[in-house]
Amino acid sequence: MGRVTNNTELPAFPAEGDIGSILLTEEQIQTRVSELGRELASKYAGETPLFVAVMKGSVIFVADLLKAYPGPVQFDVMIVSSYGDALETSGVVKIVKDLDTPAAGRHVVLVEDIVDTGLTMKYLLDHFEKQGAASVSVCSLTVREGRVAEPAVDHIGFEIPHDFVIGYGLDAAQLYRNLPYIGVFTGTLEDH
Ligand code: IMP
């Protein structure tokens, strides 16, 4: 039991040619996430905010952010899809799973992996406002450089260039979410 293969060599991972460069190392990410945790805790001192993670891309970020948050906090997930399995946005945001915890009267912190066009964020901000949230702020690990500043991202981990990136929750065709760093994807989806 537990033995999958007789091969002693591990398969090459990431596959050769899939990562052009490492944009954010594991250490850079961990340092910044700790800072964001403390920043949010001092902002919400005396409150119990509701962190809402947008799946699946925020899965690793929100886990680390919650651990870095020294205070009472609740957590819920939403599943939205906007990209399908392609690298281009479809322009359509669809709620696949809504909150279990009502947002009414709550201080909601929307936890995002990346704000690219901002379409997903805008859609969700409207959604929480319609539900009567007491306040909504956005904490995104990454945002695209030079994006239109509206709606504002209140807490930003890193500004990143326009390359397609993978790792630390971000995927290419559902792969590479498990990388502990963020790298530039230089592969082709047909390979996977
Ligand atoms: P937006 O609605 O254009 O801001 O895009 C939001 C979603 O697009 C993110 O939550 C990601 O799932 C996806 N996305 C945008 N850029 C990238 C990227 O470079 N790598 C992986 N996913 C991305």
77, 85, 114: residue to mutate for ligand 1 pocket, most atoms within 8 A of CB: 114
Q: In the chain, what are the domains?
A: 50-183 (3.40.50.2020)
> 49 with 75: CB under 8 angstroms?
no
Look at 18-22, 51-55, 81-85, 148-152 and tell me which has the smallest mean pLDDT.
Answer: 81-85
pLDDT tens digits, one per residue of 114-163:
999 898 899 999 999 999 999 999 999 999 998 877 889 999 999 999 99
pTM for the model stands at 0.91
CB atoms near residue 5 (< 10 Å) = 7
How far does residue 71's CA lie from ligand 1's centre (Å)?
29
> 23 with 185: CB under 8 angstroms?
no
For residue 112, give the ligand 1 atom closest to its CA. 10
What letter does residue 190 receive in the DSSP assignment? G
> 185 with 165: CB under 8 angstroms?
yes
Higher pLDDT, 87 or 190: 190
For residue 115, give the ligand 1 atom closest to its CA. 4
Higher pLDDT, 113 or 94: 113
Lining ligand 1 with CB less than 6 A are 57, 82-83, 89, 113-121, 164-165, 170-171
Token pair of 56 as six digits: 């699946």
User: CA geometry: angle at 14 spanning 175 and 121, to 5°?
Assistant: 40
pLDDT tens digits, one per residue of 32-43:
999 999 999 999
